[in-house]
Every structure is written in C-alpha cells, then in structure tokens.
Chains A and B, each alone.
Chain A
C-alpha cells in the first residue's frame, strides 16, 4: 500500500504548504458546503420535531388541530421517530460526512478528488432522508428504533453513504506518503464500519427478517454501533484535529491516542446488549455486553486525559476561539456521557433507570452535548475557509454557544433527575401508573420542553449565521490567513 502511495504522489501545482492548503480547501467547497447546508436544514427540521414531541408528552393534543384542519395523524408516535431520524441521519450524519470529507482532504494532504462523486452522494443522501421522513410521518415507520426509515428510503441512504466510503478509499490510497494521523484512522474506520452495519441491519430486518428476541439483539447491535462506531469516531477525529490545530500544540501523548483508537475498536461493538438488560435473552449475551461496556472506561479515560493534557496551559484560548469552545465542551461531554454509559450498564443501576427519561438524558448528553457540539465547532472552523469570508457576528456565535450549552445542560439535568424519580416510582408497587404520568415526572417534562426551546434559539441563530455565510455576506476584512 505504501508503494502505491509513493508512486502516485499528488501532482499539484502548489508551491508552498500554504498554497496547497488553500487548494485543498477550494477543492472541498461544493461537496462540503452541500453536506453542511443539508445538515443545518435537517437540524432545524429535527429541532422542530423534537420540540413538538416533547410538548406532546405533557399536552398530547398539541398541534393535533390547527385552524380547523385535523392533524390527528401527527401524534407522538410519529413525531418521536421523525425527530430521532432527522437529527441522527439528517443533521448528525450529514454534518459528520461534511467534516469527514474536509478532514480527509486535509489529512491526506491532497486536494479533493472526484468531487462530482461526492456531490452525487450528497444529493442521494438528502433525497433518502426526505423520503424517509415523509415515510415516517405518513405511517410507514418500521418501528425498529434507529432503523425507522422505510425500506424504500434506506436504499438511498446506503448508496449515498457507500459512494462516500468508496471515495474515501481512493483518497486514502493516493495520500501524501508518511504518517497516518490519528484522526484519519478514526475517519477511515468510521467510513468503513457504518455501511457494513447499516447494510447488515437492513438485510436481516427488511430483506430476510429475523424473528423473536434475536430482533432485539440485532436492533441494539446496530443502534449502539451507530453511536459508537460512526458518531463517536467522527467526533473524536474532529477533537484530535481541532484542539491541537486551534491552540497550536501537538497532542499531549500520541501513544495514548493510539491506545484509545484500538481499544475503542475492540470494545465498542460489544456494547449493544446492555440495552436489553432484563430482556428475554441468554444471560451470557447481556453479561458479555456489560463487561465490554465497563471496558470502555479504557478508551474514554485515555482520550479524556489526552485532551485535557493537550489543553492544559491553553485554557485562555477558549475566550478567543469559538471553535475551541464548542470542541472542548464536546470533549468534556464525551467523557461524562461515556462514563455515565458505563455505569448505566450495571444491572442494579439499570433496574431503576431502564425505560425512564434517565436514558433519554444520557442519549442527549452523548449525541448532543458531545457530538453535535463537536460538529458546531468544526463547522465554525471549516466554513470560513471554504467560502473565503469570516463569520459576520460574534454576537450570533455567542448566542448560539450559550443558548445551546445552557439548554443542553438544563435538559440533561431535568431528564436525569426526572428519570430517577420516575424509576423510583416505577419500582414501588404502591404507586399506580397514573400517578407517575401525572405526578412529579410531568413537571420535569415541562421543564425539558423549556430547555428544548432554549436550544432551538441557538439553532436559529446558527442557521441565520450560516445562511449569511452561504450568501457570502460574511466579513471580508481581517480574520485569520485563509489566503
């Protein structure tokens, strides 16, 4: 493989490293901006679905009848999967693909090749999400969590994603010879794992459905691996690139980053079974999964130590850099969410937290406080380099950061406390189910809707700002040297 890379050293006209960097950024413009704009559109859509679903939890008739028109079909049961899929595939995956494409080009040190292929992939991907969401809202959901998109939409998603993977292999083989940076390891692994996961899960659910409790295993094998082998590697790849790059200091310990990567690859794929604790499955399946979940402490702690030690002595840069704020928030949330996840796999704790809002809080801590904040940070860094102008307003960035960070911290807090209350009440045979629905947990849910509204404010500020950048209405003067 090394020989191939050496033979095909990129034949670019760049004279200096700075020129090469500009060339790389220019070559990424249309594919990456396509994925980013799609992502932000689905972010707004997903935020709306999430807000409406949250509201419906304390007021089920919300949005059911508008101006005399009956929207009875838009119940919680459709909004909730629509929210999950819009934010997981529409926002998170699109943003992840955009960031991964840009990082690929930067870390391979060659301008993006086969741009048309990536643009085609982006269009197919977004069509798939559109069709899938329409399918869910019209009642075609498969009702398998994380795989709700009906079969006619998953085909688009698979083809779109597979095209990006093929493109990535081509880029990797033609990279500038030399060391493969840790971020590139994570990205290649993620782009390699996800199409396989997605294809296998769809194959055994939709083409040749497995039966009984095996469905549960496959469901969570896929569901947890989508988080652990797709979102987590991309999030960490972003952190491993952005933290050192923004503060101008190499990663504290490169040894730790290698250990973190390989231990994540080894342990994460076993984790799915801990979603089924107490379920009708062989005990050994669940026990294996619990052991692997606890072993996840190794990659998480190595990564946390590494990022913290890299930042040490440079925390003042947080005051200057919007990217770093989001990334460091995300890195801290990663540690917190992962360690919380390890404890949640313990049977005794799981007895209380299972089937409560505590799990929802954990999911938002992981996919929002960690992953989404990472992606925000990366988009703040990448976009100005692609559109040749600087962000318009510090105020909008600050509104975005503070609204989203307070919003998500508040949401996780109320869901956690509410979830424990709920779990304790569920465990008490003297409490009736109605008391749980109408009792204290309900007020936590109202509080959750308020925190969701705060997050929505941040997203709107971000979308407006991004729209200004798309229209090239950013600042032309000053700014870092994009050349």
Chain B
C-alpha cells in the first residue's frame, strides 16, 4: 500500500514536471517565440482592429467623447 502510494506521488510529480519541460521545448520548436510582434496581435482581427476601443459605459457616446478629447488636445498646441 505504502509503495503504491509513493509510486503514485513520485510518478505524478515526474509526469507533471516532465510535461512542463516538454511544453517549453514544444513552444520553442513550434515557433511560439519566433515572431513576437505577430504573436501579440493574434487577439485582434479585421472586425476588431488595433486602435479600436471595445468597451464603454452603457449609454455613453464613446465617439463623441473621443472627438471632444482630440479637439481639446489640438487646442492646447
């Protein structure tokens, strides 16, 4: 019983530790670290492109607010 217990514990530790190392090697081999700029942009797409704010308070006219801010900034110069 005790031996089986140790085998389960140490076995699972080896498998989990090993899979973390495997994941690191897999990431390097499959090019996860090769194109960092493209990597950072995978969450954007044609319909939600870079430069678009995707959240605002309910009922708020976001575009008007941003326009107003832009004008205010321009007046400063």
B33 to chain A, nearest CB (A): 6
Q: Is the CB of A249 within 8 A of B59?
A: no
CA distance A16 to B30 in the complex (A): 27
Given contacts A254-B37, A394-B60, contact A245 B42 (CB under 8 A): no
Given contacts A249-B51, A262-B24, contact A179 B59 (CB under 8 A): no
Q: Is the CB of A179 within 8 A of B55?
A: no
Given contacts A179-B38, A254-B36, A265-B20, contact A248 B58 (CB under 8 A): no
CA distance A365 to B12 in the complex (A): 33
Residues in B with CB closer than 8 Å to A320 are 53, 55-57, 60, 62, 65
Residues in B with CB closer than 8 Å to A399 are none
- For chain B, residues 41 to 74, give those with C-beta under 8 angstroms from any C-beta of chain A: 41-60, 62, 65, 69
B65 to chain A, nearest CB (A): 6
A250 to chain B, nearest CB (A): 4
Instruction: From A244, A317, A475, give the contact of B58 (CB < 8 A).
Output: A475
CA distance A390 to B59 in the complex (A): 9
Q: Is the CB of A18 within 8 A of B44?
A: no
Instruction: From A316, A381, A475, give the contact of B59 (CB < 8 A).
Output: A475
Interface status of A348 (Cβ within 8 A of chain B): no
Interface size of B by CB at 8 A reads 42
Interface status of A246 (Cβ within 8 A of chain B): yes
CA distance A101 to B60 in the complex (A): 29
Residues in A with CB closer than 8 Å to B46 are 16-18
B39 to chain A, nearest CB (A): 5
Residues in B with CB closer than 8 Å to A254 are 36-37, 39-40
Interface status of B5 (Cβ within 8 A of chain A): yes
CA distance A99 to B30 in the complex (A): 27
CA distance A317 to B65 in the complex (A): 10
Main secondary structure of the interface of B (DSSP, over half): loop
Q: Is the CB of A180 within 8 A of B32?
A: yes
Residues in B with CB closer than 8 Å to A324 are 55
CA distance A21 to B54 in the complex (A): 13
Residue with the greatest number of chain A CB neighbours at <10 A, chosen from B9, B40, B69: B40
A47 to chain B, nearest CB (A): 25
Q: Is the CB of A322 within 8 A of B55?
A: yes
CA distance A193 to B23 in the complex (A): 13
Interface status of A397 (Cβ within 8 A of chain B): yes
Residues in A with CB closer than 8 Å to B36 are 253-255, 258
Residues in B with CB closer than 8 Å to A18 are 46-47
Interface status of A298 (Cβ within 8 A of chain B): no
Q: Is the CB of A250 within 8 A of B40?
A: yes
CA distance A255 to B53 in the complex (A): 24
A483 to chain B, nearest CB (A): 9
CA distance A257 to B48 in the complex (A): 22
Which B-chain residue is minimally distant from A106 (CB atoms)?
B43
Given contacts A17-B47, A200-B12, contact A321 B35 (CB under 8 A): no
15 A-B pairs whose Cβ atoms sit less than 8 Å apart in the complex: A17-B46, A18-B47, A106-B43, A107-B42, A179-B39, A180-B27, A182-B39, A196-B16, A204-B9, A248-B51, A390-B58, A394-B58, A397-B57, A475-B58, A478-B58
Known interface pairs A394-B59, A478-B59; 13 further A-B residue pairs with C-beta atoms within 8 A, sorted by A's residue number: A1-B26, A1-B30, A17-B48, A18-B46, A246-B54, A247-B53, A249-B50, A251-B40, A258-B36, A319-B65, A321-B56, A391-B58, A475-B59
